[in-house]
Structure formats: structure tokens, C-alpha cells
Structure 1
Amino acid sequence: MSRGGSSGHGAEGWLRNAWYVADWADAITDALTSLEILGERVVLFRAEDGQPVALEDACPHRKLPLSMGRREGDTLVCGYHGLAFDRSGTCVAAPTQTALPKACVRSYPLAERYGLVWIWMGDPTKADPATIVDIPQWGSPDWGYNRGPMMQVDCHYLYVVDNLLDPTHVTWVHPGSFGDASCAAVPIETLSAPDGVTAARWLMDTAPAPFYAKFLKFTGHADRYQHYEMRYPSNAVIKAVFVPAGSGGHDTPLHPDAFCMDSFNFLTPVSARQTRYFWFQLRNFAPDDAAVSEEFTADVKHAFEEDRVILNAVQIGMETSPTPTIDLKNDLASFRFRQTLARMIAAEG
């Protein structure tokens, strides 16, 4: 049974009526930036009032990318025959004739949140910024923040989804950072909700994994909670909790010395074999410590690079291996996510 993005086991195509991360907010400037998102070329820039703008990156005349043209104020002028388009995508000038208002290019709804610019690739009348993932602790003075660079992964985004719904992989992929031998055999609880799927488990009385151990407020063994949550269509919330051994578990009050790190991961499909990966972490300690933030970023980036090596190789393997794949018990969360997402995509027609 194939695990690819074009089989019944996965989701064919992309969910378009959804918010995706276009780029970091500070990466979008007055310069013209061309990106491919869900197989479509989009040109982004900041208008003179500071608002981000996203237009189809193709002049309707001969499809030259508008990003190869120039700006005149908030107007984009095609570099081939000079057709000009305002920020709504309407043609407002054509040098050899009157303006061609029907010769418009598509304009995409945008929203800024969490230091990111989000883009809506579907029906613009359905674009509600209130549906962007909620992060309650964002901006809290009690939580530290760090972010890493955008990471390009050369694989279908559903293979990254598989990874982000699988707590078991840390034992083998991240033995020197997120994982250790105690992670190997503990069963996973899979929970489905209207907005996504979660794979979670408590690891009791275990040695803290190397990445976390240096930041804990207590010594000795710990109870560790792994929470891998994937929300439709491609946003992950991964929670790591460490408390002194004997104080963890479901329905147990959080220990005063608990270490909490929430990792937010946003996948933007580029094409059938490429994904842009944006991420940041929030932690419940050292909110103003730049050195801790830098260390978090460096260590997480190193671990995610380990994932990238694996995922790039998985894409090649899925494309070239002549034999069927098999499924494991720890694939249940990903299987549920893919199946529901496939139904959502099919419902869009």
C-alpha cells in the first residue's frame, strides 16, 4: 500500500480553503519576492502603507512573472509589455491601449500573526483569520521564545506530517538530543478531534533526554509527556513536559518545577516533492534570556536537520522502490489524519 500523497492511503492534492504560512513577516519587504505555494507562483511585497500584498505571479498576457517586472508605488508593471496591476490584481494601465480591467491577476488574502504572514489559497470569501491556529501563551511575559530559519524539505508534505505524528522516531533519529532508549516501546494513545489528530504518551521514571536535561530545575529521573498534535491541513503543536519522577501522568496537577516546551511547526506545500517548514518554540522559563533562546534554536535546528536527511531519503525511496510499503502500529495517528484530510480535500471538489 503506497504512502504517497496521491493514493487512497493519503490525501491527493492540497486543501485550499486553509491558511498556510507564506513567509516570516520580516522576510516580506518592499522588494518583490516570488514563491511557489501549493503549486502556484505568488509574488509578495509590502505596500507603501506597510500591509503585505500577494498576487498571482504571472501577467495574463504572456504569463511572464510579475516578479520580473518592477514596482511603481503599489502598482506592479510587467517587464514584457508594461501592463500594470494594482494591489487588488486589477489591470490599471496598458501602454498601447486603454486599461484592461478584465485582465486581472488573482489577489490572495493575507494575515499577519505570530511573526508570520499567512496566505489563503482557496475561496477568498471563506478566508477568516480567526481560524488561524490559536497560541494562547503568545506574547506572555512568562514564556521565552526562539525561532529558527525556514527549512526546505525535499519531500511531499505528508511525509513530514507522518514524522510530526510519530513520537517513536526520536529514539532512532534523535538519540543525542530528543530521544533515548526509554522512548522505544511505550504505547501511544491516538486521539482524533474535529481540527486534527494527536499522538501522545507518558514515559514514567526515565532519564531525561540530552536536549532537555540541562534545562530542568530538578535532578534525577523524570516523568516525560510527549504530545504530537497535527491540525488540518499541516500545522503541528508538539508539547514536551518533564516533571520529577512520580509526579506525572494524566489528570495530575502540573508540578511547580515542570519543564514545558511547546514547539509550533507549520508546513507549506510547495509542490508534490517539496515543503517549506517554519517553526518556533515557546518555553515556560528564562523568558528574557537571549543565550537560552540561541541555544534552543541551535539545538532544535540540529535535530530538525536530522529529520530532513531522513525525509529527503524517504521521498526518493517512495519514488523508486518497486516493492509495497508496510504499516506499523505507530502509523495509526498519521493514517487517521491522512484519511480525514483526503475527505476534506475531496469535499472541496
Structure 2
Amino acid sequence: MTVIRFQGIHRLRSTVTRVVMEKPCILTKTLGAPGSIYKCFEPCIDKHFTIIPYERFVQRKEDFAAKIQAVFSWGPNINVDRDLLQSLPNLKAVINGGVGVDHLDIPLINSFGVKVSNTPHVVDNATADIGMSLMLASARKIIEGQHFSKFRESDDFPESTMGTDVSGATLGIIGMGRIGYKIAKRAQGFDMKILYHNRNRRPENEERAVGATYCASMTELLQRSDFVMVVVNLSPQTHKLISAKEFAMMRPNSTFINISRGLVVDQDALVDALLKKMIRAAALDVTYPEPLPRDHPLLSFPNVIVMPHIGTHTLETSQLMVERMVTNALAILNEGQLPDEVKA
């Protein structure tokens, strides 16, 4: 009698343990595969979730579809379309890594009762850093200097290698949100004159803290700036915000910097402005498409820096992004709320 009771208790404990240890399932592209979350971040996710690789899911949908409660999207690595949404009956959220969600059809996703989140705030410093890096690299011709050191045919510096000063120059920031404000803080350390244009003017105490002057008109900012940096979200209102008209307003010795989204700029107009020497240079972390085809005209200019969208591409920031994705996923599954929900 005692033995039977002991075995029953043992079986019960075993069952309870399995229930407690079972982790919710999330769908994402195989970690470490091209375009996916890096393998080094797997422990952070695996601690809380059972990871179902998208590649396995496609092959065995009937085994996994009902178990998946969240999709982890790392950029456009998974096409969250109607077919995928219809195949996941218990999906609660699409958890995006990064701030930009222009690759997600949020109204469509919401129509299935599924929420969307991103990872704001944690990307701010790294993105501001890349903006400053592009400005400095372009102004001081860092890449040209590297090429000279590696491939020079003589030891004489040609006149064309001279850069331009950042310290004391005028920086115009289009989009003074969290990231734009952090850029202004950094630029203040270079004694730059800071202008900004934004939908809403910041409080005067915030302007004073970074020495920023508000331009109600973007025209004024473009005409007065030595460096123009775009830091806006992509929306219908900002699609091709900077086009031929805006480039024509800029100074001939000015530099255009884009760290927002490629589609904020009319790239054909940018190419034309560079060909006509309407601006001195350009430095881009974002383009359309990404990456650019190798024969794209922008890649042929010696005064243009094009990066493959690496604004948040640091070990520390990527770790914070993944951790924030986990936080959002746990919140929606346990509490039904998304701390960083993005609404249509």
C-alpha cells in the first residue's frame, strides 16, 4: 500500500514538473542563419521559450502551428502575411527587434487579433552614435585616408584629401525625437551650432540644454546648415520627405546624412544633386533596397559613404534588443499586455 502511494506521488510530481518546465513556443528564423538573430543570443531566448525555427515550421506546419504564440521578427526575415497569420490560430503577438516596423502590415496583423511590438529606447544611443560617426567620417574623409594608406602610389597628399571641420559647424537635425535629441547632445561636445525641425517644438529648457534652435520651416534649416541629418520615422507623411526641391535648398558645401529609413529620401534626386554638385557629400546608413545593388550610382561616388543599415549593429545594443523582445513576449503571454505595442 505504501509503495503504491509513493509511486503515485512520484508520477504526480513528474507530471507537475513537465507542466512547469514546458515553455511557450515562438517562431523565428533559425538562429544564426543569414538575416536572423545571431546564435550568441540564443540562451537569452531559450531560457524562456521553445524556439521553433521557421524552416522546420514550413516543413511540418501541422506539428507546430497550434503551439506558436509569438513570432520573433528580426527585420524582414519572416514574411508575416495573411497565409502565415491564418496558419497560426493561437498567435498573440509579432515581436519586432528594432524600432522600424515598416516591413510589417500592422492593420493586417491586428485584424487577426494579433498585436505588434518593437524595441524603442534601447536603440537610441547606438543610432545616435552612427549618425555622429557618419558625419565625422564624411567630413574628415576617414575612408579616403584608409584607402590612401593601403593603396597609395606616392606619399604626397593630394588636395582632394582635405576634409572639412565639424567643430564649430552648423548641424541641422530633421526629426528631434529621442534619437535626434541624443545627436544634439553629442554635437554640443563639438561646439556645433544646432538647428532642428520637428513636428512639435521642444520645451525651451530642453532646447537650452543642448543649445538647439528651432526652425519652424525646414527650408530655413536646409539653407543654414553645413550638415543635414535626417532622423524621422518612415510614414506616409515622411515618404520621400527629402527630394529634388529640398536638395536644391541646401548649401553647395553641405553634407547630407540619413540614419532614418531609405524611403524618406528620393534617391534619384540625391544622385542628381551629387552629379550637379548641389551638395558636397552624403553619408547614408539606410537606403532602398538594402543593401544597394553593387552597380547602383550611389556606390560610384567617392564623396558618398553607404553603410548596410548598421545603426544598432553592436553587441551591447543587440543584446538589449533581444532582451526587450523577450520582455515583450513574456508580458503578452502572461499578462495580455505589450509594453512596447505599436498600433496602426
Which structure has more relative contact order (CA 8 Å, sep 6+)? It is 1
Using the size of structure 2 for normalisation, the TM-score is: 0.30
Structure with greater strand percent: 1
Larger Cα Rg: Structure 1 or Structure 2? Answer: 2
Using the size of structure 1 for normalisation, the TM-score is: 0.29
Structure with greater helix percent: 2
